[in-house]
Chains A and B, each alone.
Chain A
Amino acid sequence: MAHASGHASAHTADLLSPENIQLPAFALGFRNIALGIAVVGLGAGAAIGYTESFGTTSAHFWRAYLIAFLFGLTMCLGGLFFVVIQHLVRAGWSVAVRRPAEALAANLRWYWILFIPFAVLWFMGKANVLWLWADMESMRANSQAEYDIVIQKVAFLNPTFFWIRALVYFAIWAGLASFYVGNSVKQDESGDITLTEKMQKWAGPAMILFGLSTTFAAFDWIMSLSPAWFSTMFGVYFFCGCATAGYASMIIITLRLQQLGLLKGIVSSEHRQDLGKLLFAFGMVFWAYIGFSQYMLIWYANIPEETGWFLARQVGGWGLFSFALLFGHFVIPFLGLISKWPKRFPPTLVVAAVWMLCFHYVDLYWLIMPEIPHDLASFDTYAAMADKYSDTPTHFANPVNFVLVFGVIAIVAAQTISTLSRVALVPKRDPRLADSLRFENI
């Protein structure tokens, strides 16, 4: 056996050679391209929003930016979630694929910058184009019924507390990302096993903080767009989006690195299969489970103050949109990724990951863009309401949606490439790396 293990460690040294685990210099070219796309995308988005071309109203522009902002945020939060939970359960298999997740999570240290436009919106005194509760007087003028409900929530939904909470969320995320990415990178140099112990020790509290902050961020930034409406399940639904975007991004990064000839002999089809399983479990099964659980309770109880939110998503163009989401986010990828080989075969896995990112965007669009009609109480029948709103457009094809989201994705991509070019592509001295290299699904 002495012979066998001696052979294994020589082999491991080969695997961890710089050519295999360092991003080559030309990768910075990709970063520069991404930065260019970011500038063009966000610039074009701002120009469309400012000139109101393509019929872009300021409400549509700000919602489109909120979607783009949350799209990038969910990618990074998904990475953070993966890193923390691996330490929480002391997983061995995942060490080989943890660094891409850490590189995504590292973006949370600067991601608050992309929230600044909302502060500008607030200073311009126009925050109520997004969050109606930001101006209670104009809400009273629009709809007394909505005002009567929302006025009872102002202890929570008021600008001061909203901004304090936003600062707390960003502080938690930046803090957790710094702690986990920083210690992991430090271990690359020192190989100090106590760093792993420290990260494991804090993984429990970190997970609780992560859960609370993402839940309340979802309440604040998405659910409060319809301030009279509420769903206790909403935070979990948003978390599902984080996991979907995070796993899909990790798969794309890992497979792209392998396509560049890196991580050879480190990331195997066994790791790919497990990433595919996680995408399948969180992005498709859990998402459908949570989404349906939220829908069914509201549908069954049939209470007007709850059903309005879903009514807004089934009238006019939104009806087809909701069905597209159901099939695109669940039914089709569920059947596509259910067996073993599509998860192990890189081309099918990357198609699944890109597909899920697209439908994650559709999901955010579906969450954020529809507006609940204010006159729901005035209709005698559902049919009369559906008839009046039968030509509600989704505006999904408006280019401002795409330039903004590609702009944000490009910034995240550029920063992720920068992070990866400064560190090894695997936590090379993690005590469980050998476990991970040997990992096999049974």
Chain B
Amino acid sequence: MTAVVTNTTQPLATANAKATRLHGLLAEFETPGDLMHAAEKVRDAGYRWWDCHSPFPVHGLDAAMGIKRTILPVLVFGAGATGTFTALGLQAFTNSFSETIWAGVWVTGYPFLISGKPAMSLPAFIPVIFELTILFSALSAVSLMFLFNGLPQLYHPLFKSNRFRRASNDRFFIVIEARDPKFLPKKTEEFLKTLDPIAVEAVED
């Protein structure tokens, strides 16, 4: 294993003493197994603002990081149900003969009378109900995923690190951010070095 090196241009402990602010500490690992073991220790040390970076999905990493299950499915179900009832309500409303108050105005529906079907014909409504359920679910799934992940994000401090470029190729990284309540530059650096990384590097904002 390579000896631990630190960024020569930026002594770790003084990183946040300069004009730029410290974003966090980056630890580099050679294998997904090393990453998993390190992640378990970071989790057990009680850090909260930290993340793992890997070129491919690593099975079991969520558990190693102690990530809770997302509530996204529950929200998507709610959005889908909203779509169902929106479509049902919309069609019932537009097919009604009676006057309804809508946005402060009294309006009547515009029922289609086709082949002797009653205006309130559930089978005819189902395709629209189906489509709106899917549409609401899909749009909310994608947009909530963006929201929860803080996307779109056009800039990230990690992209300044040359070392981090290999995160999309063959290296595995753990970043502990400076905003973590348990983060202390020196102590966290010492802690990361105990995890057997190839290197530890400070990353500036």
Contacts and interface: CB of A to CB of B under 8 A. Distances in A.
A230 interface: no
A338 B123 contact: no
A440 B59 contact: yes
A1 B33 CA distance: 10
A2 interface: no
B57 A302 contact: no
A304 B33 CA distance: 68
B126 interface: yes
A11 interface: no
Contacts of B60: 440
Mostly helix, strand, loop or mixed at chain A's interface?
Answer: loop
A299 B57 contact: no
Nearest to A302: B115
Given A302-B115, A339-B73, A442-B57, A296 B33 contact: no
Contact of B126 (A292, A302, A340): A292
Nearest to A299: B123
Interface in B36-68: 57, 59-60
Interface in B109-130: 115-116, 123-124, 126-127
A308 to B, nearest CB: 17
Contacts of B33: 4
Interface in B54-89: 57, 59-60, 73, 77
B55 to A, nearest CB: 15
Given A302-B115, A440-B59, A296 B73 contact: no
A313 to B, nearest CB: 14
A302 B116 CA distance: 10
B124 A300 contact: yes
Nearest to B31: A1
A340 B73 contact: yes
B57 A300 contact: no
A327 interface: no
Contacts of A296: 123-124, 126-127
Interface residues of A, number: 14
Contacts of B31: 1
Contacts, number: 23
A295 interface: yes
Nearest to A292: B126
Nearest to A296: B123
B123 A295 contact: yes
Interface residues of B, number: 13
Interface string A52-88: 0000000000000000000000000000000000000
Nearest to B80: A338
Contacts of A302: 115-116
A300 to B, nearest CB: 7
A300 B77 contact: no
Contacts of B124: 296, 300
B134 to A, nearest CB: 11
Nearest to B60: A440
A299 B31 CA distance: 61
A91 B73 CA distance: 26
A440 B60 CA distance: 9
A300 B115 contact: yes
A4 B36 CA distance: 14
A338 B57 contact: no
B147 to A, nearest CB: 21
B85 to A, nearest CB: 15
B11 to A, nearest CB: 36
Contacts of A442: 57, 59
A438 B58 CA distance: 12
A20 B50 CA distance: 42
Contacts of B57: 442
Interface string A302-321: 10000000000000000000
Given A300-B115, A440-B59, A442-B57, A338 B77 contact: yes
Contacts of B59: 438, 440, 442
A300 B33 CA distance: 60
A360 B116 CA distance: 34
Interface string A223-235: 0000000000000
Interface in A400-442: 438, 440, 442
Nearest to B114: A300
Contacts of B116: 302
Nearest to A338: B77
Pick the most buried of B116, B123, B127: most chain A CB atoms within 10 A of its CB.
B123
A299 B122 CA distance: 11
Given A295-B123, A302-B115, 6 more contacts: A292-B126, A296-B124, A299-B123, A300-B124, A438-B59, A442-B57
Interface of B: 31, 33, 57, 59-60, 73, 77, 115-116, 123-124, 126-127
7 A-B pairs with the lowest CB-CB distances in the bound complex, closest first: A440-B59, A299-B123, A296-B123, A302-B115, A442-B57, A292-B126, A339-B73
Interface of A: 1, 4, 292, 295-296, 299-300, 302, 338-340, 438, 440, 442
8 contacts: A292-B126, A295-B123, A296-B124, A296-B127, A302-B116, A338-B77, A339-B73, A340-B73
